Amino acid sequence: MDPIMLNGQPTRTPSEDQMLLASVLRRYEDKLERTHERVVQRLKSNTIDVTDLRDLTYRHTLPLFAALDALSCEPRCAEQVACGAVLAYSIPLVALDTKLDGRASSLRQSESIWDEIERPGVAKLLTYSGYNDIAEGSGSAIAVRLISRIASDTIAAMNLDATRRGLSSQLEVDSRFMDDYWNSPGSRLRGSGIGRLMIGLASILADGEVTAGRDQISTTLGILRQLADELMDVVEDVLHGLVTLPVAYALRCPRVSAELTKMIQRIWREGAGSRSQGLQSPEECHLRELILMGAGHRQIMQAADQLLDNACHLSLNTFATPERVDVLLIHRRKQIDSAVANRLREPSPPLSVGDLLAIA
């Protein structure tokens, strides 16, 4: 496989998950681009001068168009509803997450909207506009209730993270901690609501309701996404005062528990989360290696395999063309493999939507 070309220069070979995502983006590119143009137009009509929000719009609305395809449904209002979801959910909640977290993702840093959204009343205006698009496009009160419920769940998960940052009690990982992390409805594993929202909206557009099977599949998609994120962001999360699943497993491993606990306590005591440079490279590498020695990634990979198998089996009886949604699940599962192969790091450099379409 040829290496990726960025700015005319060859870089690393794309991973399997990136190639898979690229092919799916290409399949729905026309719909995604029209949705992006609609989002930008709506932003400009609200005095927010943004010319490019493709990464957010394409990635967040992709599950809606894939699910509609899987349901053999092509409603004329789909792009209006997708635009409404970006305005009412994606933009305000990504902005809130960035503010609470104190850091923007690498793909978000170049987007100018995150400064604009801080202006008084802007987030409220976008949310109102988005809800109006969803209500008008879907003609369904169920769709409005769906986005309200998922937004509420997402905000609750964000607030939970914010309240426990740096708390030493997180380092006391027992079986109950692990059980709650995997199974509690309020767990941060269920904090990624975009899949639930978009597949739920597709379900409502197709059949007027969100079936239990589709909700379970979309929940699994969110969990797989969160597992991949936790593996890729493991050092950043520690720096910002959080014990996530890979670290929790390592804290239960006798080989590394004592050393890892002391290291995290020192990082939190010294306030590493407030340092713009984070950890020095040797220390960061040692932290990653301790977490890898804890072997939590193996437990996560096994659980992810089971989640994927269950969801793909369920989709056979849920969608007319299940492979259209299955590919989204498989992409997230492969992303977990890539995070582990990359020693608990995100790909460098990360690929934008434009980069992905160029290799599709």
The CATH number assigned to the domain holding 259 equals: 1.10.600.10
Question: Mean of the pLDDT values across residues 216-233?
Answer: 97
pLDDT at 163: 92
The number of distinct structural domains making up the chain is 1
State the pLDDT confidence band at 219, using cuts at 50, 70 and 90. very high
Give the tens place of pLDDT for each residue, 2-45. Answer: 555 555 555 568 899 999 999 999 999 999 999 999 999 999 99
Note if the bond before 254 is cis, omega within 30 degrees: no
C-alpha gyration radius of the chain: 20
Residue 357 lies in a domain: no
Residue 319 lies in a domain: yes
Q: What is the dihedral of CA 163, 164, 166, 169, to 10 degrees?
A: 140
CB atoms within 10 A of CB 132: 15
Residue 38 lies in a domain: yes
pLDDT at 249: 98
Residue 246 lies in a domain: yes
Q: By three-state DSSP, how is residue 323 classified?
A: helix
Residue 354 lies in a domain: no
pLDDT at 192: 87
Spatial distance between the Cα atoms of 91 and 88, rounded to a whole number of angstroms: 7
Residue 276, CA atoms < 13 Å, CB-side half-sphere: 0
Instruction: Report the run of H or E that residue 199 belongs to, with start and end.
Output: helix 194-207
pLDDT at 304: 98
Give the tens place of pLDDT for each residue, 46-56. Answer: 888 887 899 99
CB atoms within 10 A of CB 180: 12
Give the tens place of pLDDT for each residue, 112-159. Answer: 687 788 888 888 999 999 999 999 999 999 999 999 999 999 999 998
Q: Which residue has the tokens 């709650």?
A: 180
CB atoms within 10 A of CB 69: 20
Q: Say which amino acid occupies 239.
A: L
Residue 102, CA atoms < 13 Å, CB-side half-sphere: 15
Residue 307 is encoded by which pair of tokens? Answer: 């989640």
| Sheet strands (E) in the chain | 5-6, 9-10
Instruction: State yes or no: pLDDT of 181 exceeds 90.
Output: yes
Residue 146 is encoded by which pair of tokens? Answer: 């769906």
Give the tens place of pLDDT for each residue, 140-149. Answer: 999 999 999 9
Q: Which of 174, 171, 307, 178 is nearest to 238 (CA)?
A: 171
Spatial distance between the Cα atoms of 137 and 191, rounded to a whole number of angstroms: 26
Spatial distance between the Cα atoms of 202 and 16, rounded to a whole number of angstroms: 27
Q: Which residue has the tokens 């100018």?
A: 112
State the pLDDT confidence band at 97, using cuts at 50, 70 and 90. confident
Task: Please check whether residue 105 is in contact with residue 351, taking contact to mean a CB–CB distance below 8 angstroms.
Answer: no
Spatial distance between the Cα atoms of 102 and 240, rounded to a whole number of angstroms: 8
Residue 98, CA atoms < 13 Å, CB-side half-sphere: 18
Instruction: Report the run of H or E that residue 14 belongs to, with start and end.
Output: none
Spatial distance between the Cα atoms of 72 and 311, rounded to a whole number of angstroms: 19
Spatial distance between the Cα atoms of 169 and 273, rounded to a whole number of angstroms: 18
Residue 355 lies in a domain: no
Residue 2 lies in a domain: no
First vs last Cα of the chain: how many Å apart?
Answer: 12
Query: Which residues is 9 bridged to in the sheet?
Result: 6
Task: Please check whether residue 27 is in contact with residue 110, taking contact to mean a CB–CB distance below 8 angstroms.
Answer: no
Spatial distance between the Cα atoms of 107 and 232, rounded to a whole number of angstroms: 14
Q: Which of 108, 102, 20, 109 is nearest to 66 (CA)?
A: 20
Mean pLDDT over the full length of the chain: 91
User: pLDDT: is 348 or 162 the higher one?
Assistant: 162
Residue 351 lies in a domain: no
φ/ψ of 5, rounded to 5, equals: -105, 120
- Which domain does 179 fall in, by range? 13-346
Q: Which residue has the tokens 């929000």?
A: 53
Instruction: Report the run of H or E that residue 28 belongs to, with start and end.
Output: none
State the pLDDT confidence band at 273, using cuts at 50, 70 and 90. very low
Residue 138 is encoded by which pair of tokens? Answer: 């879907």
Residue 97, CA atoms < 13 Å, CB-side half-sphere: 19
